[in-house]
Each structure stands twice: as structure tokens, then as C-alpha cells.
Amino acid sequence: MALQKLGINKKDLKEDSPTGAEAGGKKLAVVLHKGKVFAIYAVCTHEGGPLEEGSMDGDEIICPWHSGAYNIMTGKADENTNWVHDTPVYKIVEGADGALSVDM
Ligand code: FES
């Protein structure tokens, strides 16, 4: 387990409003969803759209470029947007003070 600090505090996140972060040389989209924090690889598998600028629809994050949809908890691509493929998600660890780290 290699925890990397994200420099984001849970209290600064707004529900279903993706935020960009970087850890381990990877761009991540960090989302507070249903009170839990999730992190997904932010570079869209289609043409590299920025998922941190996307929006949430139910449990899915939607790419802002061509609306590819991924489950924010599993990284699974929605079969209705089959121009995108499954993508990695990372476990978030919350410190006592709300500071977020990612397990990469
Ligand atoms: S770049 Fe994300 S759907 Fe096309």
C-alpha cells in the first residue's frame, strides 16, 4: 500500500462535483458521491478528455468531450457509451482531519 497525499480535504469537496488532482504521476478526478470520496483515472479512454471537468449522472461520471460514461465506484464503462472502456479507480483514505490520500 502506497498512500499519496492529494492535498484535498473532504470538507472542501461538493457532492457530485468532480475535482482534479495528481498522484503518482497520474491525473485523477476526485468526487464526493453519496457522502464517500472516489478517485478515477482522469484521462478518458476515448480521446483523452478531462474527466475532472465532467459531470455526474447517478453513479456515473460523464466525459465532457463526447459523453462517455464510467461508474465512479468501479471504473466500468457504460455499455451504452461503448466508445469508452473500463478505466482504473483508486481507493481513497480519509485522515482524521479529513485530509485525503489515495492508495496507488
Ligand atoms: S474523450 Fe471522453 S468520450 Fe471522447
Mutate to test the pocket of ligand 1, among 80, 84, 86 (most ligand atoms within 8 A of CB): 84
Say if residue 103's pLDDT is above 90: yes
Residue 34 confidence class, pLDDT cut points 50, 70, 90: very high
Pocket of ligand 1 (CB under 6 A): 44, 46-49, 63, 65-66, 68, 84
CA dihedral 97, 103, 62, 56 (to 10 degrees): -30
**All structural domains of the chain with their residue ranges:** 3-103
Pick the CATH number of 3-103 from 3.30.420.40, 2.60.40.420, 3.30.365.10, 2.102.10.10: 2.102.10.10
On whether the CB atoms of residues 72 and 31 are closer than 8 A, the answer is yes
User: How far does the centroid of ligand 1 lie from the alpha carbon of residue 73, in Å?
Assistant: 19
Say if residue 1's pLDDT is above 70: no
